[in-house]
């Protein structure tokens, strides 16, 4: 265990990835604090210093960040459907706010930025950090353009595959991510609908992401890194989940799903530079989630609260979008 007492500010630390990341950082002796606007939550009760704030409030974020050695930027509107609801707001939060922060923050801090493998869009072959990008959504394009501002600082940029599994005990789980969604539907409905199915996606467990962030805070590896455990074909993923939830039927439909993303990614660079290895399998997390669903520990996992776009659409309809 590290004896460092370096101070880490996790911006967006109340979210799905942020929650478990803060726990892992604390476990390893970092002084951790969270800056978050609580977009989905109505409370933050973890025993961690907390700053309620919006990333768009550059002055506040900059002032809070003064006191920290490492800033982990996770706050964002996340996912293509969520970002499509209000592209102007997406641009403000995911791009402009990051730009302003990078231009104003005191030099010398290490900045860790969560980008996405969605920047690759639909492409043949196995892609890596040097491959051409092809962002197909405002989510992917705002994340991609923000990367360039981060590169002006000491930085670790993670291009994450689609994340899966259970995070920490407090934070909201996301059910709008493919492995989690398939597991929820298999347990809840006994049936999965696979749209197309030939699309490829890199995937990685949320627990593994948190460990990569811990290492990046400790060792400050500079550069851009794709993080994934494996590339999966959606059809095979559905079959895997259906075997783990016996009796699940699979319905295949050719109706083209609006999500055109299709890409495979190579993780050689992160395997070379980082000591950490992604260890959590789809089977591990599907089994853990099955238990959570069967024991009804989440009252209604289909609730819009667990789905970024459904939740934000409903907020937007009530004119309560931030």
Ligand X SMILES: NC(=O)c1ccc[n+]([C@@H]2O[C@H](COP(=O)([O-])OP(=O)(O)OC[C@H]3O[C@@H](n4cnc5c(N)ncnc54)[C@H](O)[C@@H]3O)[C@@H](O)[C@H]2O)c1
Q: In the complex, which residues of this chain contact ligand X (CB under 6 A)? A: 12, 14-18, 36-40, 54-56, 74-76, 78, 93, 114, 116, 143, 160, 162-163, 174, 177, 308
State both tokens at 111.
């900045």
Q: Which residue, 11 or 186, has its beta carbon nearer to ligand X? A: 11
Q: Which residues neighbour 97 within 8 Å (Cβ) at sequence distance 6 or greater? A: 54, 55, 56, 58
A 10 A CB-CB count for 22 gives 26
The SS3 call for residue 103 is helix
Q: Which residue, 114 or 234, has its beta carbon nearer to ligand X? A: 114
CB of 208 to ligand X, least distance (A): 12
Q: Which residue, 104 or 253, has its beta carbon nearer to ligand X? A: 104
CB of 143 to ligand X, least distance (A): 6
Of 40, 34, 11, 16, give the one whose Cα is nearest residue 315.
Answer: 40
* Helix (H), strand (E) counts: the chain: 12, 14
CB of 233 to ligand X, least distance (A): 18
Q: Which residue, 4 or 276, has its beta carbon nearer to ligand X? A: 276
Q: Which residue, 94 or 242, has its beta carbon nearer to ligand X? A: 94
Of 221, 21, 10, 224, give the one whose Cα is nearest residue 116.
Answer: 224
Residue of minimal Cβ distance to ligand X = 15
CB of 272 to ligand X, least distance (A): 21
Place of tokens 């980008």: 115
Place of tokens 């851009």: 224
CB of 139 to ligand X, least distance (A): 7
């Amino acid at each position: 265990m590290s004896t460092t007492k370096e101070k880490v500010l996790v911006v967006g630390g109340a979210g799905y990835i942020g929650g478990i990341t803060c726990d892992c950082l604390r476990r390893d002796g970092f002084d951790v604090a969270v800056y978050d606007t609580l977009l989905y939550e109505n409370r933050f009760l973890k025993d961690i210093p907390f700053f309620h704030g919006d990333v768009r409030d550059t002055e506040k974020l900059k002032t809070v960040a003064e006191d920290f050695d490492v800033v982990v930027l996770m706050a964002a509107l996340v996912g293509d459907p969520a970002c499509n609801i209000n592209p102007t707001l997406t641009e403000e939060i995911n791009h402009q706010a990051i730009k302003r922060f990078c231009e104003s923050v005191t030099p010398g801090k290490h900045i860790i930025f969560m980008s996405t493998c969605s920047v690759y869009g639909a492409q043949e072959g196995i892609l890596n950090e040097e491959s051409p990008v092809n962002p197909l959504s405002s989510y992917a394009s705002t994340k991609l353009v923000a990367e360039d501002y981060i590169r002006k600082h000491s930085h670790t940029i993670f291009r994450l595959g689609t994340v899966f599994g259970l995070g920490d005990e407090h934070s909201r789980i996301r059910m709008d991510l493919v492995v989690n969604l398939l597991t929820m539907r298999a347990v809840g409905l006994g049936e999965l609908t696979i749209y197309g199915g030939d699309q490829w996606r890199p995937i990685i467990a949320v627990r593994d992401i948190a460990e990569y962030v811990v290492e990046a805070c400790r060792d400050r590896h500079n550069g851009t890194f794709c993080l994934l455990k494996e590339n999966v074909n959606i059809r095979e993923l559905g079959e895997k989940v259906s075997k783990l939830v016996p009796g699940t039927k699979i319905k295949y439909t050719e109706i083209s799903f609006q999500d055109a993303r299709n890409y495979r990614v190579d993780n050689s660079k992160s395997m070379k530079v980082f000591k950490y290895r992604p260890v959590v399998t789809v089977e591990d997390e599907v089994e853990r989630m099955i238990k959570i669903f069967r024991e009804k520990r989440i009252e209604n996992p289909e609730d819009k609260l667990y789905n970024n776009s459904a939740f934000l659409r409903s907020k937007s309809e009530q004119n309560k979008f931030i």
